[in-house]
Every structure is written in structure tokens, then in C-alpha cells.
Amino acid sequence: SILKQTYSQRAENHRNPAAKALLETIERKRSNLCVSVDVTKKADFLRIIDIVGPYICLVKTHVDIIEDFDFSVIENLKDLSVKHDFQIFEDRKFADIGNTVALQYASGVYKIASWSHITNAHPVPGPSVITGLLSVGLPLGRGLLLLSEMSTKGSLATGSYTEEAVRMARSNRDFVVGFIAQRRMDNIGVAEGASDEDFLILTPGVGMDVKGDSMGQQYRTPREVVLESGCDVIIVGRGIYGKGNGANPEAVREQAERYRAEGWKAYEERIGS
């Protein structure tokens, strides 16, 4: 079963270059930690990434919240990704008709497809959202995650919506490499244990010190996410950079190290090493 395979074994199963590179990075750095850097000033954004860089496999961005954005942010981010050996995931959550998402992905101020190895989409428009994005992303070797579940209280992405998202992914395996979800999706719609599919499961809503925030976010620990729910990558935002936008570098570094260690320990326990 996928749950018992190492990240490097799984890298060999993936043909999509972004999925393969992510799995190889995870193994090389012994880190299944993705840091989500949701801050509004470019200096804070780049500083936090430079601090957490050694401990992560992936940086997750919301570039549209940076107030003083210009394209130097992207150039600096790319330099940091080489310096610290991590992949980049712009959390754009595309959710429109194919033609529109293709334009949003390739063009505008951010030109996401030109620098983000992985991005994501809500399955709500149906398969056309994938068709639109893959017309831009596939020739560039990019990968897509579908949001088949969400971490928030009262999420509508449950039941048949989640199942249809998995079906949409199965029909587009060259571009859709996995899911934003709270548990494994491979066995949905097939008998328990019958699937040898390998989807990447990247999971937000991870925190060790609090259970949620005042706006519906819900947190689980790395152990619950990786060991009990079988997810592959933990996504941590405020649990690492804290309330002060990462003003205390040593505290940020310590949290990144702590979450990396917890995520990796849970993985080692899962594969039984």
C-alpha cells in the first residue's frame, strides 16, 4: 500500500515532473513540511522564507496579498528556492471556466505558471477547470492539486463533491498530481486496499499549540495528519511564523525545525522504519 512506501519509492511512480521533484525533495531534505507564508510585505515574506528554507520541501504562497508586490519578489523567491532546495506552490485556488483560468494562470501581474511548480483549483466548475489549466501548465511541466476537502468548519466539500473531485483527478493523471485534503483519497470509489493509485495529499489545518482560529480554521497535529490520516505533506502557516509576521527569527527557525521533526517522525512511524 502507498502508506508503507517511502517518498523515494513513490517518486518513481510519478511521471509528472513537479510531483516527482517534490517527492525527491522531501526524501533528500527529510522534510514533509510545507510552510505557508501569508504575510503582506515583501521584506517579511522573503525574510521568513530565508529562515525556514532549510527545513522545508515546499513554500506555499498567496502572492496576491503582498501589498508592495513587484516582480523582484518572484526573482528573489526563485533564488531562495535554489539556495535552500525547495519547490514552490502558489495557492491560487482557481475556480472559473477553462478559458478564464488559463488566462489567470498564464497572464496578469503574477504570471503564476512561469514560476510556480504546483498550483491548485476548486473542482466546482467541473473538468473544464482542469482542461483550461493544463493547456498552460502541462507544457511547462507543472502539476495541479484539486481541493477535494477543506480544513474549515462547515466546509461544503464533502460526500459526493469529494468523490467527484477524485473522479476528475483520475481522468487527468498527467497533470493532476493529488489533492488538498484531510485524508487519503486513493481508495475513494474503490474497495479498501484495492487501489494502487498514488495521489499526493497535501494537508493544511496543521498546528500543535491551538485547535483553531476565530474564523473557522481547524488544526490537527502532524501526527494525526501523517500517521492517522495518511497524508503526505503538512502545510503550516501561523504555527510557524506566529503573530508578529516572523519578527523573531529564532522563534520562526525553532518552530520550523519542530514541525519538520514531528512530520518526519510521523512518516517514519507510518512506513514502519
Residues paired with residue 143 on neighbouring β-strands, in sequence order: 118
Which listed residue (44, 50, 85, 96) is catalytic? 96
Nearer to ligand S5P, 11 or 37 (CB): 37
Task: Classify 94 as helix, strand or coil.
Answer: strand
Positions 90 through 109 that interact with ligand S5P (CB under 6 A)? 91
The residue within the footprint of ligand S5P, chosen from 235, 252, 256, 266 (CB under 6 A), is: 235
CB-CB contact of 226 with 184 (8 Å): no
Which listed residue (20, 91, 198, 232) is catalytic? 91
180 binds ligand S5P (CB under 6 A): yes
Nearer to ligand S5P, 99 or 158 (CB): 158
257 binds ligand S5P (CB under 6 A): no
Which stretches of 33-167 are assigned E, i.e. beta strand?
Answer: 33-36, 58-61, 87-94, 118-121, 143-147
36 binds ligand S5P (CB under 6 A): yes
Check the annotation: does 193 bind a ligand. Answer: no
151 binds ligand S5P (CB under 6 A): yes
Neighbour-count burial of 232, counting CB atoms closer than 10 A to its CB (0-12 exposed, 13-18 middle, 19+ buried):
buried
Which stretches of 122-271 are assigned E, i.e. beta strand?
Answer: 143-147, 176-180, 200-203, 233-236
**What's the closest the beta carbon of residue 9 comes to ligand S5P, in angstroms?**
27
CA angle, 162 as apex, 64 and 93 as ends, to 5°?
A: 10
61 binds ligand S5P (CB under 6 A): no
The residue within the footprint of ligand S5P, chosen from 116, 148, 195, 217 (CB under 6 A), is: 217
**Rounded-to-integer distance, Cα 265 and Cα 269, Å:** 6
**Rounded-to-integer distance, Cα 139 and Cα 112, Å:** 14
Check the annotation: does 60 bind a ligand. Answer: yes
Catalytic site residue 96? yes
Q: Which residue ranges make up the site for ligand S5P (CB under 6 A)? A: 36, 38, 62, 91, 150-151, 180, 204-205, 217, 235-239
Residues identified as active-site: 91, 93, 96
Point out the annotated binding site. Answer: 38, 60, 151, 217, 237-238
